[in-house]
Chain A
Amino acid sequence: MEKSIAVSPLTRIEGHLAIHTETESMTSGEGKTAYRIKEARCEGEMFRGFEKILEGRDPLDAQQITQRICGVCSIEHGIASCRAQEMAYGIKIKGNGRLLQNLMLAAEYAHSHLLHFYHLSAVDFVDITAIVSYTGKDRALLSIKSWAEAALARAKAGTEAFPAAPFLPRYEGDYYIKDVDTNCALIAHYAEALDIRRVAHEMCAVFGARLPHSTALVPGGVTQRPTEERYLTYLSRLKHVQRFVEQVYLPDIVTAAQAFPQYWDVGGGYGNMLSYGVFENDDSGRTLFSPGALIGGKFEPLDVKAISEDVGHSRFASGSGLHPSQGKTLPEPRKANAYSWLKAPRYRGLPMEVGPLARVLVDYHSPNSVVKEEVDALLKVLGLPVGKLNSVLGRILARAVELRIILRQTFRWLDEVEMNANPTQDFAIPKSASGYGLTEAARGALGHWLTIDNYRIAQYQCVVPTTWNCSPRDDKGQPGPVEKALEGVVVADPEQPMEAARVVRSFDPCLACAVH
């Protein structure tokens, strides 16, 4: 029997996404009817037209306007725009400007990854209702317990229609960790991670003025001059965040993985990975994580010319298959056969996964890998081959692995900053020029392409991480990476497709970014 199953809207991600699947019924191991996904569609359901809004503007507006594409990854858009402008202005990021932008980006990664695991994703695994069975003495947990008990009592008395919101209602069933102590520990860490994520944003604001949407970010660096006071304000918070990442975040992921080991085998998809490389480690532009592509398990150097965007199934009338330097954005909201506001980026015609897992795997297979030792040690402890990383749990684990490596480097970048010296460099805006900026957002490969004519932006195109991951089918009919990763996923209850939701959330989709 065939059945359509939808998650519409998929919440606990950034932005507006709907998932529609076609399934066939099957008999599960326990003799119950279940549904296997045959094909899936990712529908990006919002559009603002940033690329049209940028046309005709002063080029220097771009790193401010593009940050507003996304309030979760604002710094990354700002940095991609700075790189594109720097190329157009004929300067290269160096010295303090490079280091201070690295320090901001590292903090933004910490904010993003902690938000994803604890506040967006873990809610699919942790049983929040376990708090009422808590018997310990932790004051924070007791406070949450009394709040939950009071809310549930009001619900029983009929005075509270939606008790314990926003944690209830949820999909009800056999989806969650059963052990009370494990649940309560993870609930405590949910609460603690709210603080740590906020502190990570404070780190970023130390040099970025404020977050989200840093006003201090400018081509060549930042406006905030580094001082001893700034150094200490950043350092104290860095230590605070790092302690949590090392001692709580990674162990919690291992706990979740042990409770749901089946997710090492679910949600793999194509396995083709793309990374632009990120965190300029020196003034030559060499990055901490190597750029490159992984196709059929084979590493190859990055070829920027191989990027194109199809719009056959996207709500755009503009040309299909164009390189972003030639791309246009002409909306056609009621286009036949189109089902998403995302374009379909392809690399050498192939759908590519981007994100922390792609960053880690591309670097792992590159010469001079910075992650290999760490990844191998972890896999050894877990007793897993590297191939298992291409999965729901692999994506979740990759975030913690890279964040540990980044935060260790952050101490070095901080120490290399020249105190009380210029945090940026001067430049002149040419009458006409073009450039592009490649970086890695927390969620993956991010590129901005810019053409300047008569001192104004003539053309601007953004190819964004979730545009890659949640892309619709391309002109050849190839599903996007998330669509592909959903194929074969088995859903137990068609009214509560938790298994599908977990696969999609493992990519940490950011739809405002993807549609822009």
Chain B
Amino acid sequence: MKQLSRRDFLKVSGILAAGAGLSRFYADAFAAGLEKLSKGLPRIVWLQGQSCSGCSVSLMNADNPYVLEVVTELVSLVFHQTLSAATGHVAMKVVDDMAAGNEPFILVVEGSIPSTMPEACIIGGRPFSEILLPLLRKAQFVVGAGTCATYGGIPAAEGNPTGAISVMEFMRKNGLSPEQRLVNCPSCPIHPDSMVGTLAYLAGRGYPGVNKELLTPDMFFAHSTHDDCPRFHYYSKHLFAEKFGDSEGCLFKLGCLGMLSYTDCPRRQWNGGVNWCIRASAPCIGCSHPQFGKSKAFPFYRKGEQQHAVGYEEAQRKGGAS
């Protein structure tokens, strides 16, 4: 196969790391990761539970490196329900062989798990939880891709009928320790850079530095969105946008949740850097937050009758009840 030089890797990794404003250390780590990836082609099994496939589409939006390079030069995407040629029993055999075999692999989970209604996610005639559990036991590392897998997300919002839970809750319920094995990459959908970057790091360096409670990798989720916001200067001058479409002013009074969010959106942006929420005058809706969308009493926007409860504090970021 095409052998990439160390320089190529550094270039790719430099882009990944530089986008996030990360230190040279991370660029080197990525380079080591990507290089190992291409030699050993670590296997990825990507499962979808109660998902919308938005994180898979986001993976296809990857451009650091592009998705074709990801699946031909960096990883072996052994199974992915949307992309695999394998269908029907051919597909199930791949998944079962991985669960039964002793080949090392990284398991990526997109979507939540219906804990009180197993019928709410069936693959190949079997409940998703029964397919997931043996793979979770075998996987070298597990990546929770997106907010549903990470924190339950919208399927786990207040009033949901299926008892949807995150991968971390599912692991704990089944006596599996998520520490040093599970990496949570929230945001709805996942950012392609955090997906590809996390896979590269896991394969190259091993388990990354993470937030101890949330298991989110520090290299992508340690910075406050608000502190890095390009509209921070408006906030400090108390200049606020009043209505949707106002192109100037801090978006806080429209409901912006940047203060409670820890992402590198301000520096990395989205979709190849053409835009991102705040740049488009769209309030951050906190899609990477453990409580994203969960409470009926906590709307995304402040408008007219719909004022936010103000007592939504930093402490609640730690996964506490809303």
Binding site for B on A (CB under 8 A): 6-16, 18, 45-50, 52-53, 55-58, 60-61, 64-65, 68-72, 74, 115, 119-120, 123, 128, 143-144, 146-147, 149-151, 160-162, 165-171, 191, 194-195, 197-198, 201-202, 204-216, 218, 220-225, 233, 315, 331, 333-334, 341, 422-424, 426, 428-429, 455, 495-497, 501, 512
Contact = CB atoms under 8 A, between A and B. Distances in A.
B305 interface: yes
Contacts of B89: 6, 8, 495
Interface residues of B, number: 94
Nearest to A139: B2
B282 interface: yes
- Select the residue from A48, A198, A334 with max chain B CB neighbours within 10 A: A48
A161 B271 contact: no
A393 to B, nearest CB: 20
A495 B88 CA distance: 9
B30 interface: no
A334 B118 CA distance: 10
B97 A213 contact: no
A56 B81 contact: no
A212 B91 CA distance: 26
B301 to A, nearest CB: 5
Interface of B: 1-2, 41, 43, 48, 50-58, 60-61, 63, 66-68, 71-73, 76-94, 97, 101, 103, 114, 117, 119-125, 153-155, 157-162, 164, 188-189, 243-245, 247, 270-272, 274-277, 279-285, 287, 293, 296, 299-301, 303-306
A161 B77 contact: no
B68 A171 contact: no
B162 A210 contact: no
Nearest to A119: B83
A222 B272 CA distance: 20
Contacts of B73: 147
Contacts of A150: 1
B276 to A, nearest CB: 6
Contacts, number: 306
B63 A198 contact: yes
6 contacts: A144-B72, A162-B78, A209-B275, A210-B270, A333-B119, A497-B88
B2 A143 contact: yes
Contact of B61 (A14, A47, A169, A211): A211
A18 to B, nearest CB: 7
Contacts of B101: 161
| Main DSSP-derived SS at the A contact region | loop
A358 to B, nearest CB: 23
Given A10-B88, A70-B54, A206 B283 contact: no
Nearest to B121: A46
Contacts of B121: 16, 45-47
B108 to A, nearest CB: 13
Contact of A12 (B61, B84, B303): B84
A10 B83 CA distance: 11
B271 A205 contact: yes
Contacts of B247: 225
B297 to A, nearest CB: 8
B277 A216 contact: yes
> Which 8 pairs of residues, A with B, have the shortest CB-CB distance?
A71-B54, A210-B270, A58-B299, A150-B1, A209-B280, A333-B119, A170-B85, A205-B271
A512 B103 contact: no
A357 B17 CA distance: 45
A166 B79 contact: yes
Given A146-B1, A147-B1, A224-B275, A11 B287 contact: no
A68 B188 contact: yes
A65 B293 contact: yes
A194 B123 contact: no
Given A53-B158, A143-B2, A218 B244 contact: yes
A378 to B, nearest CB: 29
A11 B87 contact: yes
B269 to A, nearest CB: 8
A215 B284 contact: yes
Nearest to A422: B245
A68 B52 contact: yes
B281 A224 contact: yes
A202 B153 CA distance: 25
B304 A211 contact: no
A49 B67 CA distance: 32
A330 to B, nearest CB: 8
Contacts of A424: 244-245
Contact of B88 (A8, A120, A162, A215): A8
A205 B270 contact: yes
A162 B244 contact: no
A69 B101 CA distance: 35
B1 A48 contact: no
Nearest to B43: A162
A171 B90 CA distance: 8
